[in-house]
Structure 1
Amino acid sequence: MEETHRGRTALVTGAARGIGRAVAEGLARRGARVAVMDIALDAAEATAAEIGGGAIAVAGDVGDWESFQAAHAAAVARIGAFDILVNNAGISPKRDGARVPAAEMDPAEWRRVVDINLSGCFYGARLVAPAMIAARRGAIVSLSSVAGKHYSSIVGVHYAATKAAIIGLTRHLAGELGPHGIRVNAIAPGRIESPMIHTVGAAVNQAALAATPLGRLGTAAECADAIAYLTSDAASFVTGVTLDVAGGLSMT
C-alpha cells in the first residue's frame, strides 16, 4: 500500500473497535503514526499493539472536556502535535434492541449522547486546531450518519440530531479553518457491519439492506478508506463536504 500518510500524526477517537479501529489501522498502514484513543484503555492498548508502527494508546472520554483535554495532552507529549483528527467516537443507546421513544427518553440519556456524539467533535477540533493553525496544515474528519440526513426508524432522536448537527459543524469549521490551510470534512455511513448495528434485531438490518441499492451492508474498512482519502493530499481541495458511505441508501 502506498504510504500516503508518511510523516503524519493522527488522533482517532473511539478507536479500540469497529469503524474507529479500522480507521486507525488504515492510517497506520499508510504510514501515519496513530494515537488510539478510547474510554477503555485496555482495549485501546491491545489495538495499538496490533497496529504497530509506533501507534500509542490513550484513555479518555470525548464527552468530558477535562478528560479529552488530558488525553490529548498525554498523546501530544508522546508523539507530537496532530496533523489529522478523526472524530469517530459515538453512541446510539437502545432499549431491548429498539430506539427509545422521545416521549419516554430520560433527559440524562439525551445529554450523554449529545456530549459524546456532538460535543466530542467540537472538543477534538478545539484541541487540535491551535497547532494545526500554527503549522498551516491539518485535516479533520467527523463521523456523521445517513440518519443525520433522513428520517430513520432505527435510531433515537438524540442520535439523529447529533449526526445532523455534525454536518453543520463540519461546514462551519471548514469555513473558519480553511484560511489556515486546514480541511474539515465528514462521512455519513449507512448500515455498516460493526458492533453498533447488532444492538437491534436482525430483521431491522435486513430491511436496511433491502433498501440499499448496492444490496449489502458496508464494511468498516470502506469507511476507513474514505477517511484515508479525505485526510490525504489527494483531497487537498476538498473541504466542508459530508461524503456518504452508504451504498446508495441515502439517494432520495
Structure 2
Amino acid sequence: MPQPFRNRVTLVTGGASGIGQAIVRRLIADGARTVFTDIDETAGGRMEAEAGGAARFLHADATVEADAERSIAETLAAFGRLDVAVHNVGNFGTGDAAGTGLEAMDVQAWDNTLRQCLTSCMLGMKYALPPMLAAGSGSIVNIASLAGIRVTRYASYAYHAAKAGVVHLSEAAAVLYADRGIRVNVIAPGLTLTPNIARTMPDEVRASLVREFHPSQRMVSPNEIADAVAWAAAPDGACATGLVIPVDGGWSAR
C-alpha cells in the first residue's frame, strides 16, 4: 500500500476523537510520524495506546498560546521537523447557541466561540510556520465548516463568523506564503456523523437534516473528511493551495 507520508511528521489538534481521530488514523496509515493534541487526557492516552507507537499524544489546549507553542516545540524535539499541521479544533464556545438572536448575543459567548474556532487556528499556524519556513516547505490544513461558506439556522452567529474567518485567514496565508514553499488549504465539512452525533442526536433529527441539506441523502463520515485532509496535505499536491474543499454531500452546490 502506498504511504505518501512516509518519513513525514504531522501534527493534528483535537485528535483524540471524532474527525480529528479519523485524521490521525489516516495519516498513520499513510506512513506519517504523527503527534496529536487534545484536552481530553483519557481519550488521548487511549488513542495513543491504540496507535501502538505510531502516534504521540500531547495534552494541550489549542486555544492557549503557551500550549500551541509547546506542541510545536515538543514535536520538533521528538522528530526534528514538521511537515504537515492540521488544525481541527473548533466548536461552539461556552454560552453560545444556535437560535440566539444577534441582538441578544452575549459578548463572552461570542469571544468563547471565536477562540475555539478561529484563535486556535491562528495560534496553530503562528507556531507551525517558523519550522516550515526554515525548511522551505510545509502543508497546513485547516478544518472549517459549511457554516463558514453557507448560512444555516443550526449555527450561531459567532460560529458562522469564526468559520468564515478560518476560511479567509487560510486563503490569505496561502497567497502570502506561497512563494516560500508553504501550502494552506481548508476542508469544510457538511453534516458529519461523528460518534458524538451518533450518540446524542436522534435518528429522526439526523434524517430531517440530511433531507434538508445533503443531496447525497446521507451524512458525511469522519473518514471521508480524513481522506480529503490527506489529499490536501499530500506531498505531491505542490500547486494545490488556497483551496476551500467542501466535503458535504453536495450541500454547497445547492
With the length of structure 2 as denominator, give the TM-score of the two structures: 0.92
Is the contact made by 1:141 and 1:227 (CA closer than 8 Å) also made in structure 2?
Answer: yes
Aligned partners of 1:15 and 1:88 also within 8 Å: yes
Q: Which residue of 1 aligns with 2:247?
A: 245
Moved more, 109-118 or 192-201: 192-201
Rounded to whole Å, the distance in 2 between the matches of 1:52 and 1:251 is 41
The match for 1:209 is: 210
Task: Give the structure 1 partner of residue 193 of structure 2.
Answer: 193
Q: Distance in 1 between matches of 2:10 and 2:228?
A: 15
Q: Is the 8 A contact 1:33 1:53 kept in 2?
A: no
SS where residue 218 of structure 1 aligns? coil
Q: Can you list the C-alpha shifts for 1:163-189, whole angstroms capped at 9, x where unaligned?
A: 111110111100121111111000111
Where structure 1 has 5 or more consecutive residues not aligned to the other structure, the ranges are none
Distance 2:236 2:186 in 1: 16
- Where in structure 2 are the equivalents of 1:1-252 lying within 5 Å? 1-93=1-93, 99-195=99-195, 197=197, 202-210=203-211, 211-252=213-254
Residue identity in the other structure for 2:37 = M
Does structure 2 conserve the Cα–Cα contact (< 8 Å) formed by 1:48 and 1:57?
A: yes
- Judge conservation of contact 1:28–1:53 (CA < 8 Å) in 2: no
* Aligned residues with identical type, % of pairs: 33
Secondary structure, in 3 states, of the residue corresponding to 2:184? strand
CA contact under 8 A between 2:81 and 2:131: conserved in structure 1? Answer: yes
Contact 1:36 1:47 in 2 (8 A): no
Are residues 197 and 153 of structure 1, via their aligned partners in 2, closer, same or farther at CA, if it must alter by over 3 Å? farther
For this pair of structures, how many residues does the alignment match?
252
How far apart, CA to CA, are the structure 2 residues paired with 1:75 and 1:197? 31
1:233 counterpart SS class: coil
In structure 2, do the counterparts of structure 1 residues 204 and 102 end up closer, same or farther at CA, with 3 Å as the change threshold?
farther
1:34–1:122 Cα change, 3 Å: same
Instruction: Provide structure 2 residue ranges, at least 5 long, that are not aligned to the other structure.
Output: none
